Amino acid sequence: MNSIDSLSTMLRKQGFRMTPQRLAILKVLSDAGRHLSPSDVYASASKNIPGLTEATVYRTLEFLARQDVVLAAHIGNGKMVYEMAECDHHHLICRACGNTLQIDHALLQKLYQQLEGASGYRLTTSHLTFFGLCPDCKEGGK
């Protein structure tokens, strides 16, 4: 059973319908393996689903994010991007050139534990974006 089948089964067990639109959007995100904007998702999914609207894509992405199937993130351009919620990770983004580096969550695990201990909160998501200058831009004085 592939991940889309597993996710579909899980969502159905929770009482949600798996519409052709939801399946197409999941496939686009799964195949991409990276962050996509809602416009990117729409452009890809609308090739296979005639009549798909951008509003449906936005609503579906929000639904999938609420179900913890996809991760929603701000990555510096003021717009949301989405990706499959397969592993906890974070990002370093260069403010000068836009280069993005993915960081494994294990590097920040201790910080998360300290935050939970100090605040009493139980953190339920782990997707942070840090901004700075990449080595090339830092050396170039940008």
* Strand bridging mode 100-104 / 89-94: antiparallel
Residue 92 reports pLDDT greater than 60: yes
Sign of the alpha-carbon torsion through 49, 52, 87, 101: positive
Whether the CB-CB separation of 85 and 70 falls below 8 Å is answered with yes
Q: Who has greater pLDDT, 101 or 134?
A: 134
How far, CA to CA in Å, does 62 sit from each of 8, 113, 115, 129, 130? 16, 28, 27, 19, 23
Q: Compute the distance between CA of residue 135 and CA of residue 99 in angstroms, rounded to an integer.
A: 10
pLDDT digits (tens, 9 = 90+) for 129-139: 888 999 999 88
pLDDT digits (tens, 9 = 90+) for 70-90: 888 876 667 788 888 776 778
Structural domains for the chain = 3-84 (1.10.10.10), 89-140 (3.30.1490.190)
- φ/ψ (deg, to 5) at 13: -65, -25
Write down the pTM of the prediction.
0.72
Angle at CA of residue 4, ends 88 and 129, nearest 5°:
25
pLDDT digits (tens, 9 = 90+) for 30-85: 898 788 999 999 999 999 898 999 999 999 999 999 988 888 887 666 778 888 87
> Is residue 29 very low, low, confident or very high in pLDDT (cuts 50, 70, 90)?
very high
